[in-house]
Chain A
Amino acid sequence: MGTVVQGIGVSAGAAYAPVVIVGDRVLPPADEQVLAHDVAADRIRDAFAEVATEIDGRAELASDGAAPILKATAMLARDPGLIEGAIAHAESYGPATAIERATQGYVDKFIELGGYFAERATDLKDVGARAVAAVLGEPAPGVPTLDGECVLVARDLAPSETATLDRTKVVGIVTEEGGRTSHTAILAAQMAIPAAVKVSGCLEFAEGTMVLVDGDTGQVHVEPEGELVAQLQQRAARRTAALEGSTGPGATKDGKRVALLANIGGIADAEKAGAADVEGVGLFRTEFVFLNSKEAPTVEEQAEIYRKVFAPFGDRRVVVRTLDAGADKPLAFADLGREENPALGRRGLRLSAERPDLLDSQLEALAIAAHDTGADVRVMAPMVALVEEAAWFARRVRENGLKKVGIMIEVPGAALRAGHVMEEVDFGSLGTNDLAQYTMAADRMQGELADLLDPWQPALLDLIGAACDGAAKNGKPMGVCGESGGDPLLALVLTGLGVSSLSMAPSKVPMVRFSLSQHSFADCQRLAALARGARTAHEAREAVLNAVAPSVAAVL
């Protein structure tokens, strides 16, 4: 009763609802036995039939929009080619392995065919994963049918699962794995669903247990006392009241402007953020334009997409990050081969240097779309380390008729030497997620290393300070587009360090705006000095928390 599990809060707010466990992906055992063929064939047929029936059942309950999609998915589970394919594989493999192989065979073909087919590959994978679980007698993987408000508890959520969550039912998310900048964290914040990640042991929660998720502190209270629930609900009410008056451009109490911008990754994000109270886009990730295509998209294809992304912002700024691919996000048409350390390899601008044709067509398309929409488009390169790289990129951008060029500061070398690197460009933007990974030599994708990647690490704050000083020496603005820009406390520290724009998930903007409005620029500088004076990340946050305006502390 009343136990608390500590995780990492990644999406603010509180949620109180019963637990629904998201089943793990079930893998066929490595040593699975080959069965007598007729036995295997029966089991495989039964497994697929069970999956088809289950999906049909969901189709009956689903909305008019979702039902046809589910019915089509059930058809896949009844497909004779898939079932007979699996049965054929069962000659030499155990039934679960046979199902996986048959499914994978079709998935590979569909991805190869691209377009419409590639989109169906996800459904097919889902069918295969469910059939594997069914044949092994394990619970079905993925998000089950939800019949009311709930807190989803999962090992981690797949991108496709997070994207299709029913916001009206899922009021909170808790995961065993993941980290501050993992996919689940970013999407939960985008959808404004309170969430905690790295909550160890959460998969042991019994289905239906009432839990209270505090997405601010990362705490998950199991069967909490009524008093605690009331407390957090009051906090939520105070927050709503405080944020009501929080609109318009961001500024400190004494009027120093800090632009509040949105991070977006596609057309749908752009339409949502364009309608929100933000001053533009601080980070438009362009990878989606490239990742799913077999061939490099043409200039006209790209321009069409960019027009749709820019249009919702009118004359507001849109900061575009050029293609940031590499060995961990490989492109079908620009594969430079496997690398031992993709994060340290030929990614970002380094890939562009290898394939300048890709960069040039992207810049040309951006220039066309900027011209057609009249948007204030600014282009920046990822993974810049050297003055020469900044100069090379700036020349190419300007040659394409784009007026404002910048660089991401995410390599410690560039942060330390910002005084010179920034001479070459018009603005800088700190990618604090990658900067933390490279500063602390800790892989962003490793949940176990979350402490090293804490954005309050004083070493990271020192590098941010160095980057801001270098930019200031040149009279150039420096922004932040990592997750730390969306933290209402860190936002004050960053402002104090000299950052003049903060880009984040749009749902985080009101809280950051409120926090800034309650402090003068001198307050922010004082808070920054406190944070940098601390010995540990924890002490840095505590020191700042104890010194912020009471009006802000009350709603945290």
Chain B
Amino acid sequence: MTTRTVAIGSSVGLHARPAAIFVQAVNDAGVPVTISKPGGTPSPANSMLAIMSLGAKHGDMVELGCDAPNADAVLAGLVALLERDLDAE
């Protein structure tokens, strides 16, 4: 399992619109990805419910995990996405 930790860049945190954009990106990647608060139980990252119930605010850390052969590339793309202020875009 490859993991990456990233601080949420969206000013409103990871819910509503930013969460929807992120879920879309996970679905586009086409491989299973998990998300959790550092040390928490990983949940499927293509679940709006799981993501929103993390309650991750601006600046909070989240951990992404992936087992796919191309995990490094997939996670790099998702990390870059989460670092942006998706709500402002």
Contacts and interface: CB of A to CB of B under 8 A. Distances in A.
Contacts of A290: none
Contact of A110 (B46, B47, B53): B53
A80 B53 contact: no
Contacts of A110: 52-53
B47 A80 contact: yes
Contacts of B49: 76, 79, 81-82, 106, 124
A18 B39 CA distance: 57
A387 to B, nearest CB: 49
Contacts of B52: 110, 113, 117
Contacts of A169: none
Contacts of A113: 52-53, 55
A84 B41 CA distance: 14
A241 interface: no
A110 B53 CA distance: 6
A80 B16 contact: no
Contacts of B46: 80
A225 B66 CA distance: 70
B53 A116 contact: no
B18 to A, nearest CB: 13
Contacts of B48: 75-76, 79, 81
Nearest to A72: B48
A106 B16 contact: no
Interface in A72-111: 75-76, 79-82, 84, 106, 109-110
A113 B43 CA distance: 18
A80 B44 contact: yes
B53 A109 contact: yes
Contacts of B81: none
A82 B52 CA distance: 12
A497 to B, nearest CB: 55
Given A109-B53, A113-B53, A79 B16 contact: no
A82 B47 contact: yes
Contacts of A75: 48
B50 interface: yes
**Chain A contact residues, majority secondary structure:** helix
A81 B55 contact: no
A106 B44 contact: no
A457 to B, nearest CB: 50
Interface in B23-69: 43-44, 46-53, 55
Given A76-B49, A109-B53, A117-B52, A81 B16 contact: no
Contacts of A82: 47, 49
Contacts of A80: 44, 46-47, 50
Interface string B9-28: 00000011000000000000
Nearest to B48: A79
Interface hub of B47, B49, B55 (most chain A Cβ within 10 A): B49
Nearest to A112: B55
B47 A79 contact: yes
Contacts of A116: 15-16
A137 to B, nearest CB: 25
Contacts of B15: 116-117
Contacts of A124: 49
Interface hub of B15, B46, B52 (most chain A Cβ within 10 A): B52
Contacts of B44: 80-81, 84
B55 to A, nearest CB: 5
B87 to A, nearest CB: 13
A82 B47 CA distance: 8
A315 to B, nearest CB: 41
A106 B16 CA distance: 16
Contacts of B55: 109, 113
A189 to B, nearest CB: 37
A82 B44 CA distance: 10
B51 to A, nearest CB: 8
B86 to A, nearest CB: 17
A109 B47 CA distance: 15
A124 B50 CA distance: 13
Interface in A258-294: none
A309 B80 CA distance: 47
Contacts of A79: 47-50
A129 to B, nearest CB: 16
A124 B43 CA distance: 18
Given A82-B47, A84-B47, 7 more contacts: A80-B47, A80-B50, A81-B44, A81-B48, A81-B49, A81-B50, A110-B53
Q: Which 8 A-B pairs have the closest CB atoms?
A: A81-B47, A81-B50, A109-B53, A81-B49, A79-B49, A80-B47, A80-B44, A79-B47
14 contacts: A75-B48, A79-B47, A79-B48, A80-B50, A81-B50, A84-B47, A106-B49, A109-B53, A109-B55, A110-B52, A110-B53, A113-B53, A117-B15, A124-B49
Interface of A: 75-76, 79-82, 84, 106, 109-110, 113, 116-117, 124
Interface of B: 15-16, 43-44, 46-53, 55
